[in-house]
């Protein structure tokens, strides 16, 4: 494909900061159409980036025969319907993270992708762990960690600690679905390195139960929690703890720690990523990651390369997205049932939908 023509549905903050610049750096890629939530927003985006075609309805953009690929930058409530429609129209799809609102919607997306193996469906990956991915994977494969015993996943900050912070779309169930705080995005990072957990037991709370809706100015209930704790059990008996909170002052930030029988490996995610190791009897030391091996953000280039070369999607393919949605769904069910819940295996998820 000499030139790839991209249409964008939902050219918002992430598209402006990451996806549009990433596509602009790719050779022979042209952004030819845009559709935002309002005509005024569509007009502004088109004028800012010199996009020639503007649509009031995403359905019309998806049906445009002169578009080769669709970038979905909307909130999760539109991810499944746009993805399925775009694939059925013969378009490649790059879909923003938080794959879908529910496990069922994620399954519909996977089904559509499997009906069209000639097309690329890529989910925008969790940005955490990309820089250090190869080094972590290499260390785990070496066996130096020993038998995995415990997993601790932490994302604790004060993003929503102030009660005056307005309601986020991430706290509206209709827009975000079952996704909660940073649970899915960090779990996606974890399962690049480990198998899926088999059981979860969760508790959660919205410590600020009401906030001001920025679109209406009304005080409304917060529908999704601002703090989530999950206990997990992994294959082989390892135990896991997920501590997620956006309402904690002085929190430790974002990290994943793996405790093994021979060593402990800790990944910390800040402005840069670092991985440290403490082997039996020793102190923590940095696990060096040469600059040439720090992969960084190249999502848009990967997407275009998969379209052109047929290379499989690595970060993140729809099956991996389905896996983290199954985990998030199990956490949501555990909260509803106040009980431990089994996480369905991938084979079970696919078999349930005729795969």
Per-residue pLDDT tens digits for 260-293: 999 999 999 998 999 999 999 899 999 988 888 8
End-to-end distance of the chain based on CA atoms, in angstroms? 30
pLDDT digits (tens, 9 = 90+) for 254-264: 999 999 999 99
- DSSP run (H or E) holding 21: helix 20-24
Average pLDDT rounded to a whole number, residues 55-78? 97
pLDDT grade, residue 102 (50/70/90)?
Answer: very high
Tokens of 87: 């694939």
pLDDT in tens, 190-225: 999 999 999 999 999 999 999 999 999 999 999 999
- From 101, 331, 342, select the one nearest 203 (Cα to Cα): 331
The model's pTM: 0.94
| The domains spanning 4-126+298-318 and 133-293 adopt the same CATH topology | no
Superfamily of domain 133-293: Dihydrodipicolinate Reductase; domain 2 (3.30.360.10)
Residue 163 to residue 298: CA distance in whole angstroms: 36
Predicted pLDDT at 352: 61
Q: What is the mean pLDDT of the chain?
A: 95
**Contact present, 275 and 135 (Cβ < 8 Å):** yes
| Best CA proximity match to 71, nearest among 42, 93, 41 | 93
Find the angle CA(27)-CA(28)-CA(32) to the nearest 5 degrees. Answer: 125
Distance CA 20, CA 274 (A): 28
Q: Which residues contact 166 (CB under 8 A, 6 or more apart)?
A: 211, 212, 213, 214
Q: Which two tokens stand for residue 166?
A: 């307005």
Burial letters 212-244, b for 16+ CB under 10 A, else e: eeeeeeeeeebebbbbbbbbbbbeeebebebbb
Q: Where are the domains of the chain?
A: 4-126+298-318, 133-293
Q: CATH fold of 4-126+298-318, please?
A: Rossmann fold (3.40.50)
């Amino acid at each position: 494909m000499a030139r790839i023509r991209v249409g964008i549905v939902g050219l918002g903050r992430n598209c402006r900061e990451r996806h549009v610049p990433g596509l602009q750096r790719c050779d022979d890629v042209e952004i030819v159409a845009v559709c935002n939530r309002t005509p005024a927003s569509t007009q502004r985006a088109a004028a800012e980036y010199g996009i020639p075609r503007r649509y009031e309805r995403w359905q019309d953009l998806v049906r445009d025969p002169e578009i080769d690929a669709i970038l979905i930058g909307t909130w999760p409530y539109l991810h499944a319907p746009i993805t399925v429609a775009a694939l059925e129209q013969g378009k490649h799809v790059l879909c923003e993270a938080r794959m879908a609102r529910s496990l069922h919607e994620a399954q519909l997306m996977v089904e559509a992708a499997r009906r069209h193996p000639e097309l690329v469906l890529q989910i925008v990956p969790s940005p955490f762990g990309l820089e250090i991915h190869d080094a972590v994977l290499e260390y785990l494969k070496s066996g130096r960690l020993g038998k995995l015993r415990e997993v601790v996943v932490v994302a604790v900050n004060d993003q929503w600690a102030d009660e005056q912070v307005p309601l986020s779309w991430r706290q509206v169930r209709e827009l975000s679905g079952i996704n909660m705080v940073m649970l899915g995005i960090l779990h996606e990072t974890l399962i690049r390195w480990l198998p899926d957990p088999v059981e979860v037991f969760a508790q959660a709370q919205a410590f600020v139960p009401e906030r001001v809706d920025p679109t209406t100015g009304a005080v409304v209930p917060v529908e999704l929690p601002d703090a989530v704790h999950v206990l997990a059990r992994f294959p082989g008996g390892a135990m896991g703890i997920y501590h997620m909170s956006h309402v904690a002052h002085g929190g430790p930030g974002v990290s994943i720690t793996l405790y093994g029988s021979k060593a402990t490996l800790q990944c910390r995610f800040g402005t840069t990523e670092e991985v440290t190791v403490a082997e039996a009897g020793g102190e923590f030391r940095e696990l060096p990651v040469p600059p040439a091996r720090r992969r960084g953000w190249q999502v848009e280039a990967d997407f275009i390369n998969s379209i052109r070369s047929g290379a499989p999607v690595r970060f993140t393919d729809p099956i991996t997205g389905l896996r983290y949605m199954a985990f998030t769904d199990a956490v949501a069910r555990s909260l509803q049932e106040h009980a431990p819940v089994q996480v369905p295996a991938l084979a079970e998820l696919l078999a349930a939908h005729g795969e």
